[in-house]
Each structure stands twice: as C-alpha cells, then as structure tokens.
Structure 1
Amino acid sequence: MTITEVSRKYDLSQDTLRYYERIGLIPSVNRNKSGIRDYTEEDCRWIEFIKCMRSAGLPIEILIEYVSLFQQGDETIETRKELLIEQRKLLIEKMEEMKKTIERLDYKIERYEQTIAPKEKELKRTDN
C-alpha cells in the first residue's frame, strides 16, 4: 500500500506516518524501485497498534521503547509484557478518575435540572 492509501485507511496524515517512522514508532517501511513507501500488512498492523495505543493516551516515548524492545527479539518478551501491564494499570487508574469526573458532572447536571424544572413549570402556568 502507498502512504496515501495507508493515510486514508487509518485516518492519519502522511506527515504523521513519516514522523512515526522517523522516530522509530513504526519499523522502517520498505520502498519500491521508485523510492515510494510500500506498506505491508505487518506495517499496517504496527500502525493500527500505535494508533490504538495513542488514542488511549499512551506516551510516544513508551511506544518507542516498546517497538525498540520488540526489535531486540524474544529475550525482551518479559520486559515488553511488564511495560504493557504498567501502561494498562495507568489506563485503569485514568478510567477511574474519568468515572469519578463523570459522576460529578452527572450530579451537577441533576442539580441544574432540579433548579430549572420548577421554573419551567411556573412559566407554563403563567403562559395559560
């Protein structure tokens, strides 16, 4: 796949794809005879993984470390696993914080609705 096709498929700009490759976030992409990037299925799986992790809020530095460890081979499996476990733990903590924030927002919205509802009833009575 060309960079244009990959850009469309994953809704990432071509500049972002080049940047991810340049900083080692995705392994180097092969090029065809004309020097144009030729993304393989494996490259696309990396892009999908990185996009998913980034949308969850994982820092680029952590993902670069993960990719680097992956490229070092099977002797880093345990380290990679621990890195992912730690990131999962942090995401769960973040989700709990977000859940508390949502609960607080729900409470505030409910309070406003309780304040507004009597006023709306009063307006309806005076409109008749």
Structure 2
Amino acid sequence: MVGLTAHTLRWYEQEGLVAPIDRDSAGRRRYCDDDIGWLRLLIRLRTTGMPVREMCRYAEMVRAGDHTVGDRLQLFVEHRERVLARIDELQQDLAMLDLKISVYGEMAQAQAQPLASR
C-alpha cells in the first residue's frame, strides 16, 4: 500500500521508527490509517534525505508528547534548509546538463547539415 517491502516495514519497527503494529490472529501486521499516514511521512523524510537517526529522534519526540513540539519544529526547519540547498544543487546540475545538451545538439546539427546539402 505504501510501496515498502515487508523487510523494510519490519526494520522500521525494529529501529523504533514505527510503534509496534497490531497483529491479526495469524500474526500478520494490521496497519490502520494512522499507521499508513505515519509510514508515508517516513517515506517522504527518507526521500528528502533525512538520516535515519534523525527520523528515529523525531519518532521518539512524537512518542514523548506535546512538550517536544518546539524541538520537532526545529528539526523540520533544519531539514527544510538542507532540502532547499539540495534543490539548489540539483538546479545547478540541471543547468549544466542543459548546457551540454545545447552544445551537443548544435554540434550534431552542424555535422548533419553538410550531409543534407550534398
């Protein structure tokens, strides 16, 4: 449902990223909507490059209660800054690719023109 393997889900639970999940009579994990939402958040944090140790720290803060809201805010503000810096790096990388595509496109077109005029 969220695109994670059973192995990854078990690992998330083992690492404390996910609270122990209820199980059915056959021992299969039964994820509720809140669990799915939490997993989707973890996936986004991981996709944006948040280290697992920070994700664990965040999970611990959430479990600790509302007195950690300020620390959670700070964690997200800092992570957002890293994401913005990465976006800037990717934009610079994209600009270099666009330049190379333009240069090689012009070279390829120049090489093709003499052949077409024959």
TM range (shorter): over 0.9
Deviation of 1:34 after TM superposition, in Å, equals 3.5
Instruction: Select 1:31's aligned residue among 13, 20, 23.
Output: 23
Count how many residue pairs are aligned between Structure 1 and Structure 2.
118
Q: What is the TM-score normalised by the length of structure 2?
A: 0.94
Deviations 1:56-95 (Å, cap 9, x if unpaired)? 2211111111001110000100000000000000000000
- Tell me, which stretches of 5 or more residues in structure 1 are unaligned? 1-8
Taking the aligned partners of 1:115 and 1:63, their CA distance within structure 2 comes to 48
Taking the aligned partners of 2:57 and 2:45, their CA distance within structure 1 comes to 13
Structure 2 partner of 1:61: 53
Alignment of structure 1 residues 59-98 onto 2, 5 Å? 59-98=51-90
Deviations 1:102-123 (Å, cap 9, x if unpaired)? 0011111111111111111111
- Tell me, which stretches of 5 or more residues in structure 2 are unaligned? none
Structure 1 partner of 2:38: 46
Instruction: Select 2:117's aligned residue among 96, 118, 125.
Output: 125
RMSD: 1.1
Alignment of structure 1 residues 100-115 onto 2, 5 Å? 100-115=92-107
Deviations 1:26-60 (Å, cap 9, x if unpaired)? 12212233332111111111111111111222111
Q: What is the TM-score normalised by the length of structure 1?
A: 0.87
Structure 2 partner of 1:6: none
Instruction: Select 1:20's aligned residue among 5, 12, 25.
Output: 12
Taking the aligned partners of 1:84 and 1:21, their CA distance within structure 2 comes to 22
